[in-house]
Amino acid sequence: MNKDEILLKAQEENKGKDIADLEAQRKGAYLAYFVGLFLIIIWDMVEGFIFHHINYGGNMALFAMAATAFLVKYFQLRKRHELIVGLIYGLGAIVFLVLWILQLTGVMPR
């Protein structure tokens, strides 16, 4: 088997997917998640110190991102702890969504 035959066989097995590209996307998404996490924490700290309140919308987005990541991981790997963590983050996202809606409607101070 020569080099071209090996390449063709690997491409057929991977259904035309570029493994290096998929790995780069995975690493990029992973890094982007932590950048978003860091920025939302800084956002909360600045709002808390300067305005003496926190906008719950950013926290809702953060928890929704984490819930999505863990639930996707659960559906791919079928590990029970991934489901539990995903549901906990999902519950947190719902709580922050309700708090954010209460802020937007004026029920809670902004």
Q: pLDDT tens-digit profile of 3-34?
A: 777 777 766 766 666 777 878 888 898 888 88
* pLDDT for residue 34: 87
71: left (phi over 0), alpha (psi -120 to 50) or beta: alpha
Residues of the chain with pLDDT under 50: none
Rounded to whole angstroms, the Cα distance separating 41 from 55 reads: 11
* pLDDT for residue 108: 85
